[in-house]
Amino acid sequence: MIGEDALENVGLPSDTGLQLIGSIQEQQVQREESGRMRIRAMKEARKHRTLPQVTISSFTETGQAESSVKIPAQRAYTDRQPIISSSLASTSCASLGITKLLHRLNTTLGTSYTLSTPSMLSQLELCISNDYDFGTALGRLRPRWYSDPTTVQGELCTLEAQDREMRQKAIVDKRILTPSMPPRRVWDLYSNRVVPHWIIRREPWAISHAWMDPKDRVEVQTPINGYEWPVPIPKDASLELIRIEMLHLGAQYVWLDVLCLRQRGGPGERLRMDEWKLDVPTIGQVYHQNQMVVYYYSGLGRPFSLKAGDLESRRCWFNRAWTLQEISENSIFGGDTDSSPLKAVPIDDQGNFEDDVVTRFFEKLGSLKNIAQEVHNVFDALAHMRKRESEGAIDKIAGLAFLLRSKTIPAYYETQSVEDAWTGLANAMREKYRGDMLFSYPGPGDGNRKWRPSWNQILTMELPATGGVYLHEEVTRFHGFDIDRHDGYCIEKGYVRGLAVSDLQRAGRRGEMRVKDDTGRSHTFKIFATHQYPIPEASYTLISGALTDMEDWVVGQRLPDRRFEKVSVFRIIDRNETRRLKVGSSSAQLGDKVLAKR
């Protein structure tokens, strides 16, 4: 174990300034790119106004009569956008040949290129040699079709190489250094094909949904994702109808997990685990980029409905682990029908509805909006997550990473133990949330750290009620040395009594803390524990935060090498007491505590 003096000697770097500069530069780049995207979108819109009207419908796409489709927005879509039918999308470029392929592209995109247009022939030949269908060719060429044709292939090669390099360098020591990683793939609704993210020139919308029970879903093979893997969807849903609805809502590109995140099975199964290391932890970025999120609360592509028992189902959207990170202020309800709960009218000013299930639905939805803005205390997020269901043992932990807005996030290893996964997240999360665990959790951890709870404790033990408490105390971490440290006030020796016995009849317990100043004079302070964890009557080392007016304290024992082992926590709730402590006890000095391991 390296002590505090050794830490100072090795000169651990403080890269906060560099991170701040990098963050400012990144924000500037994002603003500039957003402006360029808006300009390109305006130019595209002007060109598209001259295109002929195109209609796709449930009948043309699936053979299903429009009148039988329950969701009105899934019946048909008409617009002057370069949208193609599924049958045209599946037409082989090789079967069309060079001349007809160019004719189809010109007709779809409203241009008049010829084979003598510089670089045009080589682009078309590439589509044929790569065995693209027309949808894939359109999806890859359309974003730059109105640019200088001589630069397109070079630009695409550069973008692909940059994307590949970015993903190869993204994970270092099992940590993802850039949580804002863009998704690997998106669904181009115009071409009805999944395309690499690096091809597109505007950010995608996202679709949020909860997976149905296995008995209620089917795995479909589809050209939309190039038959790369079987796509699990509800038995009564259709990707073609979902596409029509998304177009109705105004989307051009969307991210949908079953289409854009490699699923189990298919010829590329060997790639899945490697892709998931990066792609699964960064899913949250898709839902937090100020783009629209479409929510299917009753299952992907299904009509929105509510009945008794729905909100209690383990398959309910509110009860799934992954959906907690998918909450966005920019939201649209998917699956709206003439009889959906969205048509219900409140019966009073308090937002109550005639149907209690509808009332509770909107109450639940409203309660989640706050956590979408900011997690004030880590236990707010943990309390939400531990009540949710997940398929994988570590999915609840992985689903917290983006919500906690960590500077880095752990890579995803599906065979990893839950405690190892939790350690990875606890090591990576913001220092403020680590401080919440040190100062708020009432007992020592029973895992590989004493200063914070184990994942088993989070799932099985009572969590502290935060009441919106914002401590803002930090526990910093030095990854290269496997050290956790807190900077704050420390009383090396204080006697605590009155909190050794639990009292379930009271919400809190009162006790005393006695310390001596430099003259040997004793001072007694009233203390309060909001929990029932016993603190045996004894002498302890006590630490408090530098930013909390010395109200919150951690009780523990000093170990060799200036390490500190946590026992419990309490509060001094009387401001007069804390002021007296500052004045009367010179034992309370600002310093570092290296927090002990197990």
String of DSSP letters for 352-377: --SSHHHHHHHHHHHHHHHHHH--SS
Task: Check whether residue 158 and residue 187 sit in a common domain.
Answer: no
Q: How confident is the model at residue 44 (pLDDT cuts 50, 70, 90)?
A: low
Task: Check whether residue 268 and residue 404 sit in a common domain.
Answer: yes
Using a 10 angstrom Cβ sphere, with 0-12 exposed, 13-18 middle and 19 or more buried, the burial of residue 338 is: exposed
Q: How confident is the model at residue 488 (pLDDT cuts 50, 70, 90)?
A: confident
Task: Check whether residue 337 and residue 213 sit in a common domain.
Answer: yes
Does the residue 447 lie in any domain?
no
Residue where a domain terminates, one of 149, 165, 181: 165
Task: Work out whether strand 175-176 and strand 409-410 pair parallel, antiparallel, or are unpaired.
Answer: antiparallel
Q: Residue 586 pLDDT more than 80? A: no
**Alpha carbon 386 to chain centroid distance?**
16
Rg (the chain; Cα; Å): 29
Task: Check whether residue 534 and residue 566 sit in a common domain.
Answer: yes
Does the residue 465 lie in any domain?
no
* C-beta atoms surrounding 112 within 10 Å: 6
> Domain span at residue 288?
170-429
- Ranked by mean pLDDT, the top range of 499-508, 523-532, 546-555 is 523-532
Task: Check whether residue 153 and residue 174 sit in a common domain.
Answer: no
Does the residue 535 lie in any domain?
yes
Name the residue among 252, 250, 258 with its Cα closest to residue 234.
258
Mean pLDDT of 294-312: 97
Q: Residue 288 pLDDT more than 90? A: no
Task: Check whether residue 226 and residue 351 sit in a common domain.
Answer: yes
Q: What are phi and psi of 226, to 5 degrees?
A: 65, 25
Mean pLDDT of 10-37: 45
Contact yes or no for 168/108 (Cβ under 8 A): no
pLDDT for the residue numbered 55 = 97
Mean residue pLDDT of the chain comes to: 88
Q: How confident is the model at residue 34 (pLDDT cuts 50, 70, 90)?
A: low
Beta-bridge partner residues of 526? 512
Name the residue among 95, 96, 88 with its Cα closest to residue 55.
88
- For residue 464, which amino acid is it? P
Lowest-pLDDT range of 44-48, 60-64, 105-109: 44-48
Task: Work out whether strand 589-595 and strand 483-497 pair parallel, antiparallel, or are unpaired.
Answer: antiparallel
- 340-364 burial string, b = 16+ CB within 10 Å, else e? bbeebeeeeeeeebeeeebbbbeee
Task: Work out whether strand 54-57 and strand 76-79 pair parallel, antiparallel, or are unpaired.
Answer: antiparallel
Task: Check whether residue 117 and residue 220 sit in a common domain.
Answer: no
Residue where a domain terminates, one of 146, 165, 184: 165
User: Tokens 């009557």 correspond to what residue?
Assistant: 537
Mean pLDDT of 28-51: 63
* Distance linking the first and last C-alpha atoms of the chain: 12
Task: Check whether residue 228 and residue 331 sit in a common domain.
Answer: yes
Q: What is the C-alpha separation between 186 and 509, in angstroms, rounded?
A: 55
Q: What is the pLDDT of residues 154-190, one digit of tens each?
A: 999 999 999 999 999 999 999 999 999 999 999 999 9
Does the residue 520 lie in any domain?
yes
Mean pLDDT of 344-361: 94
**Percent of the chain whose pLDDT exceeds 90:** 71
Name the residue among 517, 520, 514, 516 with its Cα closest to residue 572.
514
* C-beta atoms surrounding 267 within 10 Å: 10
- Under DSSP, is residue 181 helix (H, G, I), strand (E, B) or coil? coil
* C-beta atoms surrounding 564 within 10 Å: 24
Mean pLDDT of 79-103: 97
Q: Residue 533 pLDDT more than 70? A: yes
Higher pLDDT, 43 or 356: 356
Does the residue 9 lie in any domain?
no
pLDDT for the residue numbered 582 = 61
Considering its fold, how many domains does the chain have in total?
3
Residue 39's H or E segment, with its range, is helix 16-48
The pTM of the full predicted model, rounded to 2 decimals, is 0.88
Q: Residue 22 pLDDT more than 60? A: no
Higher pLDDT, 491 or 78: 78
- Under DSSP, is residue 133 helix (H, G, I), strand (E, B) or coil? strand
Q: What is the pLDDT of residues 225-235, one digit of tens each?
A: 999 999 999 99
pLDDT for the residue numbered 81 = 95
Does the residue 225 lie in any domain?
yes
Q: Residue 588 pLDDT more than 70? A: no
Does the residue 446 lie in any domain?
no
Q: How confident is the model at residue 516 (pLDDT cuts 50, 70, 90)?
A: confident
Q: What is the pLDDT of residues 128-161, one digit of tens each?
A: 999 999 999 999 999 999 989 899 999 999 999 9
pLDDT for the residue numbered 49 = 76
Tokens describing residue 362: 């909107």
Task: Check whether residue 137 and residue 226 sit in a common domain.
Answer: no
Task: Check whether residue 414 and residue 525 sit in a common domain.
Answer: no
Contact yes or no for 450/461 (Cβ under 8 A): no
Q: Residue 409 pLDDT more than 60? A: yes
Q: Residue 100 pLDDT more than 90? A: yes
Pure H helices in 387-475: 395-398, 418-428, 431-440, 455-460
Lowest-pLDDT range of 21-25, 30-34, 257-261, 457-461: 21-25
Lowest-pLDDT range of 64-78, 470-484, 573-587: 573-587
Contact yes or no for 445/453 (Cβ under 8 A): yes
Q: Residue 294 pLDDT more than 70? A: yes
Helices (H) and strands (E) in the chain, counts: 18, 21
Mean pLDDT of 386-406: 92
Q: Residue 568 pLDDT more than 90? A: yes
Residue where a domain terminates, one of 142, 165, 188: 165
Q: Residue 504 pLDDT more than 80? A: no
User: Tokens 């050290």 correspond to what residue?
Assistant: 483
